[in-house]
Amino acid sequence: MDRVNSFAVLGAGNGGQAMAAYLALQGYKVNLYNRSEERIEAAKKTGGITLSGVFTGFGKLQSITTNLAKALENSEIIMVVTPAVAHKFIARMASPLLKDGQIIVLNPGRTGGALEFYNTLKENKCKADVIISETQTFIYASRIIGPAQARIYGVKNKVAIATFPSLRVREVVDKLMPIFPQFTPVENVLKTSMDNIGAIFHPAPTLLNMAWIESTGGSFNYYQQGISLSVARVLEKLDEERMEVAKALGVEPTSARDWLRMSYGARGHNLFELLQNNGQYSDISAPPDINTRYIFEDVPMSLVPISSIGQKLGIETPTIDMIIDLACIVHETDYRMFGRTVENLGIEDLSVQEINRLVNIGDVRNRHSINEIGKSILNNIKDIDILINDYEKDIEGKYYKEGGID
């Protein structure tokens, strides 16, 4: 397997700056792109980003630019670290620039990210043979702490990743495993999309704490002070509805409780205790105001598609719908109008079986014999099992032995 040498990191927010600096510190050539000049002005002056926290040092970047063509040129892996509301824009602008063999990773895809990206490339007649993948969550808890300075507070133990179509997952994981051993493959992008825990942890606590946020400028711990026992009960209900929709779609969902245990090694009997006992959340402040991506990203790109899929499959989501309605009122915006839905994800007229066929082989039409499709998917599942076993061994040896995250 050839070693990856070059990355493009698209997006210079909290996550993008942290990821670009980390990759540069590991010795990779990194191009950092941002649509506006303001976010990258300081990094241009210094030539890179200073990273602190879990990893420390100065990450020297090869290119820091607002020119997408320049950022993508000669980049083997394209890490999209923008809010999900920008995924469609990135896909549209990148469509004529992409080249065969490039791997696109949405960090994360939220709900339906890979499907939306695929549909946008298709609409824009992109001819390049690229692999679209999405993670279930962002690997770091990170923040920009100053001009050209980012801090990584924690690294998740395990981050699910899937490709569109799922048959190409091995190509992506083989490339990324040496760099991000936390990335572990799952069945398909329905699993990563429906296990979108940001949908549970972001909009509701922000909206239920909006008076506190507005009166203090977010001067409190978001997870451990903002999510009280009562707020946690609302989140538990949201999570139950998310999992019911996932099951109807043929996905075996991971609960928010189990996700905290797997990702951070958190301990507790219920969601409230798990959040309180997660040390990696102890330094995360609330947003400074309610004009935050926790609402303008996570409502239309997470809750709206879950609600839309639920409606298509006959699953009621009253708590999810309540949070969507509240967000629409507070932001005076109809998030259902421009959010991801079964219509714009291209699955409105597909059965559950056809949706699964689409994400597994990239086409709802049965071009191959049933035996051929079944054989390919079985081989892919075997590959995923092997990769997961390798991943578990690697994590045990690399992280727990070194006294990693408890």
The full set of domain ranges for the chain reads 6-194, 198-346
For the beta carbon of residue 74, count every other beta carbon within 10 angstroms. 15
pLDDT digits (tens, 9 = 90+) for 375-391: 444 455 455 555 545 54
Query: pTM score, two decimals?
Result: 0.86
Mean pLDDT of 179-203: 96
Share of the chain above pLDDT 90, in %: 85
What distance in Å separates the CA atoms of residue 172 and residue 395, rounded to the nearest whole number?
A: 19
pLDDT of residue 283: 84
Q: Return the CATH architecture of domain 6-194.
A: 3-Layer(aba) Sandwich (3.40)
Residue 202 is a catalytic residue: yes
pLDDT digits (tens, 9 = 90+) for 97-153: 999 999 999 999 999 999 999 999 999 999 999 999 999 999 998 999 999 999 999
Whether the pLDDT of residue 372 is over 80: the answer is no
User: What Cα–Cα distance (Å) separates residue 119 from each residue in 92, 125, 200, 304?
Assistant: 10, 10, 26, 18
pLDDT of residue 379: 53
Whether the pLDDT of residue 207 is over 90: the answer is yes
User: CB burial class (10 A; 0-12, 13-18, 19+) of residue 19?
Assistant: buried
Catalytic residue chosen out of the listed positions 298, 325, 349, 368: 298
Residue 269 is a catalytic residue: no
Mean pLDDT of 27-50: 97
Write the class of the CATH domain 198-346.
mainly alpha
pLDDT of residue 261: 94
pLDDT of residue 365: 63
**Band of the pLDDT at 3, cuts 50, 70, 90?**
confident
What distance in Å separates the CA atoms of residue 108 and residue 134, rounded to the nearest whole number?
A: 6
Catalytic residue chosen out of the listed positions 202, 269, 349, 390: 202
**Band of the pLDDT at 2, cuts 50, 70, 90?**
confident
Six-digit token string for 324: 């969507």
pLDDT digits (tens, 9 = 90+) for 243-284: 999 999 999 999 999 999 988 899 999 999 999 999 888 888
Share of the chain above pLDDT 70, in %: 89
pLDDT of residue 366: 53
**Band of the pLDDT at 327, cuts 50, 70, 90?**
very high
pLDDT digits (tens, 9 = 90+) for 81-105: 999 999 999 999 999 999 999 999 9
